[in-house]
Structure 1
Amino acid sequence: MRKPAVLAALAASALSLGACSTVVETVRGPELAPIGYPAQLVPVTQTYQAAPQPRSASANSLWRTGARAFFGDQRARNIGDILTVSIRIDDRAQTSNTTNRSRTNDITGGVTNFFGLENSLGRAFPGGFDPQALVGVEGSSNANGTGSVSRAERVDLTIAAVVTDILSNGNLVIQGRQEVRTNRELRELTVAGIVRPEDISSANTIAHTQIAEARISYGGRGDISRVQATPAAQSLVERFSPF
């Protein structure tokens, strides 16, 4: 008997805390998230690796063995390094479909002899019994459908991401989060994915098209977003309405 009461109390406290958070955000506006290591976007094991020791120069040469440039390579390659992600999305899609379906069924069945019982059925239905047309089924259905999609998206943003993990094949897992607050509106931009070290340019930048398993989110919260959003009761009615 005590366990349900405890669970009910915990649920009530969680609801009250959520309500208080919503009320505070409504009065004061959205608050910025604390700065921290971006481990929530892609849950990975955070294992830091020691920086490799610089190799000595070859005999009678200023170049180090295996070096890719005369100066040190400033591109991100270790956990904790920062690189710039350029997000330039300009997509357009237009689709139009038309469907027309028609079907007609006609089935007739009869019994000529059935152990002499057809005569008994004739006496039971003297008005219109016909053994040759004992069963008859007819049906027809028609369906017409038309659909079209016209969509255009354009996003041009830049964000700094952090290398959070190095896979066994050398690919880098990156995560980045950016928040900008203007008056009472907070805009959030998050990016996460897997990149190849070879795709990172000499300026330590990479395009979003070169990120595998890319997860890009751009949105916000605040007074404007709250007014533009559909009320919760209306959303529930539209989602579960059978009509």
Structure 2
Amino acid sequence: MRHSILALALASLTLGACSTVVETVQGPQLAPIGYPAQLVPVTQAYTTVPEPRSASANSLWRTGARAFFGDQRARQIGDILTVNIDIDDQAQTSNTTSRSRSNDITGGISNFFGLENSLGRAFPGGFDPQNLVGVEGQSNANGTGSVSRSEKVSLTIAAVVTDILSNGNLVIQGRQEVRTNREVRELTVAGIVRPEDISSANTIAHTQIAEARISYGGRGDISRVQSTPAAQSLVERFSPF
């Protein structure tokens, strides 16, 4: 069993190394298009697309329309809506901490099994049983920290309704990838929305998404050069000093 686990781990490392080598040579590859169920671990369900109704030439019913007077906003699993992301946040924090402590402990004994005189002869410098134990300690700590952050993101992404909660709220997920030369920009969004917050244009703002998970980043040559090496990250993470 142990040999099987070691072989599986070695195979995983080999595949990961091969993938890294291929990405280094050919650049990052786009992920396959699929139902975005991996963003939020929920039970997914798929609905079948109904067959379009046949209509005569003079019919008011348009072939392929889902409803005649119905609301076209996303409300069913598989429907698509547009998420407008407009983040403009600023934060500044400054903290200063100073701490100092000093300890001085002195103790002695009056009798030590009748060996006080013998211990005095053993120490050429003299022996004082009243000052047998002495402990001194001092510690100082000073810390200063500051945070100055400014973030601004303005993006638009299409998301898919992946689940409907028991109270009618919708679970949405969306992912977008754009490749430019050897760099891939990734944008993901997931969360819970109320059907009432979806506008008539089938759009919703990111501030109306509960449990919002928004990720914007990239991978490729530039991101790899800017990132901290793995060995240095491990040292900084687990160093006790």
Q: Give the counterpart of 2:163 among 159, 162, 165.
A: 165
* C-alpha contact 2:83 2:158 (8 A) present in aligned 1: yes
> Residue 130 and residue 205 in structure 1: after superposition, are their counterparts in 2 closer, same or farther (change >3 A)?
same
2:116 corresponds to which letter in structure 1?
L
> Residue 101 and residue 129 in structure 1: after superposition, are their counterparts in 2 closer, same or farther (change >3 A)?
same
1:35 corresponds to which letter in structure 2?
I
Following the alignment from structure 1 to structure 2, what is the Cα–Cα distance between the partners of residues 12 and 118? 65
* Structure 2 equivalent of residue 188 of structure 1: 186
Does residue 97 in structure 1 map to residue 129 in structure 2?
Answer: no
> Residue 209 and residue 140 in structure 1: after superposition, are their counterparts in 2 closer, same or farther (change >3 A)?
same
1:38 corresponds to which letter in structure 2?
P
* Structure 1 equivalent of residue 10 of structure 2: 12
TM-score (norm 1): 0.79
TM-score (norm 2): 0.79
> Residue 185 and residue 144 in structure 1: after superposition, are their counterparts in 2 closer, same or farther (change >3 A)?
same
CA deviation after TM superposition for structure 1 residue 109, in Å: 3.3
* Structure 2 equivalent of residue 215 of structure 1: 213
Q: % of aligned pairs identical? A: 81
CA deviation after TM superposition for structure 1 residue 118, in Å: 7.9
* Structure 2 equivalent of residue 107 of structure 1: 105
Structure 2 unaligned runs (5+)? Answer: 50-67
CA deviation after TM superposition for structure 1 residue 107, in Å: 2.6
Matched residue of 1:124: which SS? helix
* Structure 1 equivalent of residue 60 of structure 2: none
Following the alignment from structure 1 to structure 2, what is the Cα–Cα distance between the partners of residues 143 and 18? 44
What is the aligned-residue RMSD (CA, Å)?
Answer: 2.6
* Structure 1 equivalent of residue 61 of structure 2: none
CA deviation after TM superposition for structure 1 residue 143, in Å: 1.6
Where in structure 2 are the equivalents of 1:51-66 lying within 5 Å? Answer: none
Where in structure 2 are the equivalents of 1:44-193 lying within 5 Å? Answer: 44-48=42-46, 71-112=69-110, 114=111, 120-122=115-117, 124-125=119-120, 128-193=126-191
CA deviation after TM superposition for structure 1 residue 76, in Å: 1.1
> Residue 6 and residue 105 in structure 1: after superposition, are their counterparts in 2 closer, same or farther (change >3 A)?
closer
Following the alignment from structure 1 to structure 2, what is the Cα–Cα distance between the partners of residues 193 and 201? 17
> Residue 120 and residue 89 in structure 1: after superposition, are their counterparts in 2 closer, same or farther (change >3 A)?
same
CA deviation after TM superposition for structure 1 residue 24, in Å: 2.1
* Structure 1 equivalent of residue 203 of structure 2: 205
Number of residue-to-residue matches in the alignment: 220
Matched residue of 1:203: which SS? coil
* Structure 2 equivalent of residue 58 of structure 1: none
CA deviation after TM superposition for structure 1 residue 14, in Å: 2.7
| Range that drifts further, 161-170 or 202-211 | 202-211
| Range that drifts further, 6-15 or 141-150 | 6-15
1:94 corresponds to which letter in structure 2?
Q
> Residue 103 and residue 18 in structure 1: after superposition, are their counterparts in 2 closer, same or farther (change >3 A)?
closer
CA deviation after TM superposition for structure 1 residue 100, in Å: 1.2
CA deviation after TM superposition for structure 1 residue 4, in Å: 4.3
Matched residue of 1:125: which SS? helix
1:84 corresponds to which letter in structure 2?
T
> Residue 110 and residue 225 in structure 1: after superposition, are their counterparts in 2 closer, same or farther (change >3 A)?
closer
> Residue 93 and residue 118 in structure 1: after superposition, are their counterparts in 2 closer, same or farther (change >3 A)?
same
Q: What does the per-residue CA deviation read over 1:119-142, in whole Å, with 9 as the maximum and x for residues that have no partner?
A: 641453166444544433332222
Q: Give the counterpart of 1:38 among 36, 39, 42.
A: 36
Matched residue of 2:17: which SS? helix
CA deviation after TM superposition for structure 1 residue 77, in Å: 1.1
* C-alpha contact 1:77 1:197 (8 A) present in aligned 2: yes
Structure 1 unaligned runs (5+)? Answer: 52-69
